[in-house]
Structure 1
Amino acid sequence: MTATTGRPTTSVGRRASAAPAPSFAHLIRLSDDTGLFEHARHAIVRREHGYCTDDVARGLVVTSRQPEPTEEVLRLAERYLAFLTHAQDAGGAFHNRLGHDRRWTDQPALGDWWGRALWGLGTAAARSPAAWIREEALVAFSRGATRRAPTPHAMAFAGLGAAEVLRRHPAHAAAAALLADAATAVGGPGPDPRWPWPRQQLTYASAALAEVVIAASQLRHGGPPLDDGLRMLAWLRDVQVRDGRLSVIPAGGWRCGAVRLRHDQQPIEAAAFADACATAATVTGDLGWETGVRQAVGWFLGDNDVGTAMWDPETGGGYDGLTAHGPNLNQGAESTLALISTLQHAGRWS
């Protein structure tokens, strides 16, 4: 069941200056001693849908990169890490779906969840303040980094984890090879200035593809030109900004030459855009990329096509999607993690 509503919002400047600190309250509400539940009806967990590695991995990303995490957040990270190591097989692939009965419903494979698992493990290995988490995460990352997925998105997510590992362990050969292969899988910008994207369709989390090319440009050997990733991200920024506000590619995607729809917009797009712009700003030193981070933060706070907030201040949960009539008020894991991820940039970049 979905529910939508529209609410008036304040000015852009007031929204940007009033960005709240990330709240982990709803993430705690969605978690138990096993992992992170995927779905919620409004703010209430829907246990019947169980857990997925995709979301647990994203949970490990945000809990690991939270500066000075509380004991409660650190326990979440440890729990999510335990889930991922349980999901991984001896060859480095991962199960994705675990039922509430604690039984896997699929076989280990190399889908997006493999890439996101390596992203989470790489982030934990690089950033966690707990040595025991860093050590175990690096072991699991190294096992998974020997594999290669058949899709650009899965490779891009894995490459982002590899980039994290290399920031702490510059000599990690498997991470360097994975990051280089991820950039190759994504490809560079095409020759058409009207559509300088490696493929003829934008689908989901598109900014992550540009981000991994930017990150790979920093490799000592075999990295793509930095300008390739920046051109991709700049074009994506230009097509997703409308009247100065972020208007992300909707869930149905957008194919070259087709009419672009405006809804339903997903929080994961705003979060991926914030991550990519923050990486571009860090790599280049060009503070102009901060604007993209601020626009992503603003999207959640109400500076979007409908002019309504995309989160619930009472629960700390993120709404599941922006429709033409307002937000889908369900507060699942993916949307809440996207909110937390974006707000983590707010203190530094907005």
Structure 2
Amino acid sequence: MTAPVEAPARRTTPTPPFHHLIRLTDDTGLFEHAQYAIARREHGYCTDDVARGLLVVSREPDPAPALLRLAETYLTFLVHAQAADGSFHNRLSFERRWTDRPELGDWWGRALWGLGTAAARHPAGWIRDSALRAFTAGAARRSPAPHAMAFAGLGAAEILRADPGNELAATLLADAASAIGWPDPDPAWSWPYPHLSYASAALAEVVIAAGHRRGDVALRAAGLRMLTWLRDAHLADGHLRPLPVAGWTRRTVRQRYDQQPIEIAALADACATAAEVTGDEQWLVTVGQCVQWFLGDNDAGVTMWDRATGGGFDGLTAQGVNVNQGAESTLALIATLQHKRTPRSR
């Protein structure tokens, strides 16, 4: 579903909009997909998106009552998604039936990221306490998937902000960095793997965070080298050109489309962390470019969100904007705008 959407003449930074996120949330969880701005109930809910929802609402320093309600809904969903062994279901039907078995996929990592952020940042004490219990139950597990480990490691880094002596979180963060590995010494491909897939900046971010927390100068430098190379790979014609949904394999021609907002949000997160740990405000320039990508400074020169609904558009294709406003793209918009409002708050 595409439509031309003209970029505004003045690209002033809006405040993070939550009204579409509220629209996509019922008393059970967060609907994954939307047709334009209407939730597609038949597709149900997923832990991946609910965890990201808990993350963004927990970042709000003074949440309105509606956002407190979202946090309660998302936290309740994650607690019920978690199995006794710390793994998580991912998919819940609209009829409130789990359609999968609890496992340690990306959703396990994202659940720990959301829970860690809530435990460290949320202003409500009972939410912090409940989130910490669920995080602790899952943090002893390990996934074979590097992305899942990266997301879990970012949750551990959040816990360590509030409780630097938390040994469980420190061990998880260290293990996440080890799971990702070291970048290739070739400056033309400073990455641990021959293929870049989705939300790649999260892998660099967790290596940076682990090096910083451990005082490991070499590890932190490796993460910064990864992120510098990835940032430069995103730049084209003076703006950001995120990696396509198909990814990019070493020594192949990189495709331009389809571009998805999750890549921009992951880059904004990682660059905000790099600015925090290094004090180098050049990283905040990239955060600003991430914001501007949503506001129209992109390959097509179009806005990537709907001001009327508050929803983020699902992607930028060769034919134009996919104007459906699902949870992932809306959460990516909110997360990115949160950094611009308080760029050093991470």
C-alpha spacing 1:241/1:221, structure 2 compared with 1 (3 Å)? closer
Match of 2:32 in 1: 38
Match of 1:247 in 2: 241
Instruction: Identify the match of residue 227 of structure 1 among 221, 224, 228.
Output: 221
**1:218 match: secondary structure:** helix
Cα deviation 1:29-78 (Å, max 9, x = unaligned): 00000000000000001000000000000000000001211011011011
Confirm or deny that 1:297 pairs with 2:310. Answer: no
In the superposition, the TM-score normalised over structure 2's length comes to 0.97
Shift of 1:243: 1.5
1:297 and 1:214 map into 2 onto residues whose CA distance is 22
Instruction: Identify the match of residue 236 of structure 1 among 227, 230, 234.
Output: 230
1:311 and 1:202 map into 2 onto residues whose CA distance is 26
Which range moved further: 67-76 or 122-131? 67-76
**1:322 match: secondary structure:** strand
Match of 1:71 in 2: 65
1:134 and 1:8 map into 2 onto residues whose CA distance is 42
Instruction: Identify the match of residue 150 of structure 1 among 124, 144, 148.
Output: 144
**2:55 match: secondary structure:** helix
Instruction: Identify the match of residue 7 of structure 1 among 5, 8, 30.
Output: 5
Shift of 1:347: 1.3
Identity of aligned residues (%): 66
Match of 1:172 in 2: 166
Instruction: Identify the match of residue 113 of structure 2 among 119, 143, 146.
Output: 119
Instruction: Identify the match of residue 208 of structure 1 among 185, 196, 202.
Output: 202
| Unmatched 5+ stretches in structure 2 | none
CA contact (8 A) 2:8 2:303 kept: no
Partner amino acid, structure 1, of 2:120: A
**1:19 match: secondary structure:** coil
Match of 2:98 in 1: 104
C-alpha spacing 1:158/1:224, structure 2 compared with 1 (3 Å)? farther
Cα deviation 1:258-299 (Å, max 9, x = unaligned): 110000001000000000000000010000000110111011
Partner amino acid, structure 2, of 1:105: T
2:65 and 2:280 map into 1 onto residues whose CA distance is 35
Match of 1:347 in 2: 341
1:218 and 1:329 map into 2 onto residues whose CA distance is 39
| Equivalences for residues 6-25 of structure 1 within 5 A | 6-10=4-8, 14-15=10-11, 18-25=12-19
Cα deviation 1:70-105 (Å, max 9, x = unaligned): 011011011100000000011100000000010100
CA contact (8 A) 1:22 1:343 kept: yes
2:217 and 2:71 map into 1 onto residues whose CA distance is 31
Shift of 1:7: 3.2
2:8 and 2:324 map into 1 onto residues whose CA distance is 23
| Unmatched 5+ stretches in structure 1 | none
Shift of 1:222: 6.8
2:183 and 2:206 map into 1 onto residues whose CA distance is 13
Instruction: Identify the match of residue 325 of structure 1 among 319, 323, 330.
Output: 319
Which range moved further: 66-75 or 147-156? 66-75
Shift of 1:10: 4.7
